[in-house]
Amino acid sequence: MREITTEIRTVYYRNPELFKSRDKVSAAIDDLCCMIGCTRSSLHVYASEKGIVFGNISFSVGNQRYNCTTGGIKGTPIPSKTDKIKSMKNKDALFILVVKKETVFQRLVEDGFCRKYRCILITAKGMPDVASRFFLRKMWSEFQLPVFALVDFDPYGLKILSVFRNGSKNMSFDSENLTTPDIKLIGMLHKDIERYQIREDLKLKMTDFDIKTAKSLLKKPYISEEEKEGLRYMLDNGIKCEVEAWYSHGIEFLSKVVLPLKIQSMVVPGQPSA
């Protein structure tokens, strides 16, 4: 029998009147997987590539070998066919840093952060897709490295962190392969607002949706006490803040001052001084 694969968008365009949107296709596939106890990859249904990775690691997909230092600031795309990823090798990385935004990812690559501090950078460009979650979990379990997360100081940033760490309700049947329980939040924290004297004009006003999300997250048992402190700070002060606010101190301030100090405080061995 010939092995045939397809993408979510292909399923949608074959039956647009049935599904109405690609999101509904994805939800239907997740429901089917849950019902019959299988994964998306076992059905040979994949989403388009979204996440990217950069660092001194390599892996194979079929007969092709990927070196994750050759993609420049664009990084190496994380394959959507996660079940085909084989022979993942870590050359010298000491930790993994998950970054919320592609622009911040590119800034860190361009600044030479990975080379100087021997790390692997990964971003899902916002809310993580299945492939990015799988890839992070695979790196964490195979390399046994600490994993840190750099997200905006807002409820959405914490929601992204929780999906990487705890999974999502619609994919709970495959959480073992899609969660990284040891991931630690290193920024942006509520303490960073005062510590780095973030200017008033860089503090953004919380929207009604932000407030609703923050209140919802406060009720979740998987949100840590430090994260809840941050949420309460957002609600009490009515503000949120983006990682890029650190750039007000200099375009390389994040990569050369903030992150080195934070990584060292997490007691990662072998790190050079900031």
Question: Domain 49-265 - what CATH class?
Answer: alpha beta
Active site residues: 13
Give the span between the Cα atoms of 157 and 145, in whole angstroms: 22
- Which residue has tokens 């066919």? 81
Pairing of strands 76-77, 239-240: unpaired
Distance CA 71, CA 221 (A): 39
Residue labelled with tokens 């920024």:
187
Structure tokens at 68: 């994750």
H/E run at residue 161 = helix 155-166
Are the CB atoms for 163 and 133 separated by under 8 Å?
Answer: yes
Q: In tens digits, what is the pLDDT along the chain, a chain of 274 residues? A: 456 566 666 666 666 766 667 667 666 666 666 666 666 666 666 556 689 999 989 999 988 899 998 878 889 999 888 778 899 999 989 999 999 999 999 999 999 999 999 999 999 999 998 899 999 999 999 999 999 999 999 999 999 999 999 887 655 555 677 899 999 999 899 999 999 999 999 999 999 999 999 999 999 998 999 999 999 999 999 999 999 999 999 999 999 999 999 988 775 455 544 4
pTM: 0.82
The gap from C-alpha 4 to its chain's centroid, in whole angstroms, comes to 29
